[in-house]
Structure 1
Amino acid sequence: MELINPVQIYKRLWANRALVIQLTTRDIQSRYKGSLLGLFWSFLTPVLMLSIYTFVFSVVFEARWGTGSGSKVEFALVLFCGLNTFTMLSDAVGRSTTVILSNVNYVKKVVFPLEVLPLALVGSAIFNGAVGYLVLLVGMATLMGTLHWTAIFLPIVLLPLLIMALGVTWFFASTGVYIRDMGQVVGVCLNVLMFLSPIFYPLSAIPAELQGIYYLNPITYVVEDVRRVMVWGLMPDWGVWVIELMVGLVVLVCGFTWFQKTREGFPDVI
Structure 2
Amino acid sequence: MAEHIDVRAPLTLGQQASLINAFGQRDLKAKFNGTLLGWLWSLVVPLVTLGIYAVIFGGLFKMRPPALDNRTGGIGEFALWLFAGLTIWGYFQNSINAGINGLLSSGGLLQKVYFPAYAPVLGAGLAVGIQSAIEAGLLMVVLALLGFLDWSWLLVPVLLALIVVFVQAIAVILAIGNVYMRDLAQLVGVILQLMFYATPIIYVVTIVPESKWGIPLQFVVKHMPVAEYIELFRSLVYMGQVGSLTHWAACLAWAGLAYLGARIVARKWGADLGEMI
Which position in structure 2 is the counterpart of 1:6? none
What aligned pairs does 1:98-117 form with structure 2 within 5 A after superposition? 98-117=101-120
The whole-number CA distance in structure 2 between the counterparts of 1:11 and 1:266 is 18
Counterpart residue type for residue 37 of structure 1: L
Distance 2:141 2:61 in 1: 23
Matched, 1:248 2:251: no
Q: What runs of 5+ residues in structure 2 fail to find an aligned partner? A: 1-9, 212-216
CA deviations 1:164-186 (Å, max 9, x no partner) are 21221111111111211111100
Contact 2:169 2:259 in 1 (8 A): yes
Does residue 134 (structure 1) correspond to residue 137 (structure 2)? The answer is yes
Per-residue CA distance 1:105-127 (angstroms, 9 max, x = gap): 33124542332111112212221
How far is 1:12 from its partner?
5.1
Query: Which whole-Å deviations, capped at 9, do the CAs of 1:233-265 have from their partners, x for residues lacking one?
Result: 111333321232123122112123212322334
- Alpha-carbon distance between aligned partners in 2 of 1:105 and 1:193, rounded to the nearest angstrom: 33
Amino acid corresponding to residue 136 of structure 1 in structure 2: L
Corresponding letter in the other structure for 1:197: T
Task: For residue 148 of structure 1, report the CA deviation from its aligned partner.
Answer: 2.9
Q: Residues 17-56 of structure 1 correspond to what in structure 2 (within 5 A)?
A: 17-56=17-56
Mapped partners of 1:214, 1:59: distance in 2: 24
Mapped contact 1:159–1:245 kept (Cα < 8 A)? no
Corresponding residue for residue 6 of structure 2: none
Mean Cα deviation higher: 68-77 or 181-190: 68-77
- SS in structure 1 at match of 2:35: coil
C-alpha root-mean-square deviation of aligned residues, in Å?
Answer: 2.4
* Aligned-residue identity in percent: 25
- The answer to whether the 8 Å contact 1:89/1:125 transfers is no
Equivalences for residues 222-237 of structure 1 within 5 A: 222-237=229-244
Q: Give TM-score, length-normalised by structure 1.
A: 0.85
Partner in structure 2 of residue 195 of structure 1: 197
> How do 1:158-237 residues align onto structure 2 when only pairs under 5 Å count?
158-209=160-211, 210-237=217-244
Cα displacement string for residues 173-223 of structure 1 (whole angstroms, at most 9, x for unaligned residues)? 111112111111000111111111110111211111111211441112111
Q: Secondary structure at the match of 2:191?
A: helix
Partner of residue 158 from structure 2, selected from 156, 168, 174: 156
How far, CA to CA, are the matches of 1:22 and 1:225 in structure 2? 32
Q: CA deviation at 1:145?
A: 4.5
- Conservation of the 8 A alpha-carbon contact between 2:148 and 2:238: no
- Contact 1:214/1:220 (<8 A) preserved: yes
Is this contact kept in 2: 1:93–1:168, CA < 8 A? yes
Name 1:238's counterpart in structure 2: 245
Aligned positions, number: 260
| Secondary structure of the corresponding residue to residue 275 of structure 2 | helix
1:90 corresponds to: 93
Could you tell me which residue of structure 2 aligns to residue 258 of structure 1? 265
Residue 39 of structure 2 aligns with an amino acid whose one-letter code is L
Residue aligned with 2:102, SS: coil
Q: 1:52 to 1:134 in 2, by over 3 A?
A: farther
Larger Rg computed on CA atoms: 2
User: What SS does structure 1 have at the residue aligned with 2:271?
Assistant: helix
User: Given that residues 24 and 124 in structure 1 are in contact (C-alpha distance below 8 angstroms), is that contact kept between their aligned partners in structure 2?
Assistant: yes
Unaligned runs of 5+ in 1: 1-9
Separation of aligned partners in 2, 1:116 and 1:97: 12
Under a length normalisation based on structure 2, what TM-score does the superposition of the two structures give?
0.83
The aligned amino acid for 1:36 is: L
- Give the secondary-structure state (helix, strand or coil) at the position aligned to 2:239: coil
Tell me which protein shows more helix as a share of its residues. 1
- Could you tell me how far apart the structure 1 residues matched to 2:257 and 2:152 are? 28
One-letter amino acid of the structure 1 residue matched with residue 192 of structure 2: L
Q: CA deviation at 1:60?
A: 5.1
SS of corresponding position for 1:35: coil
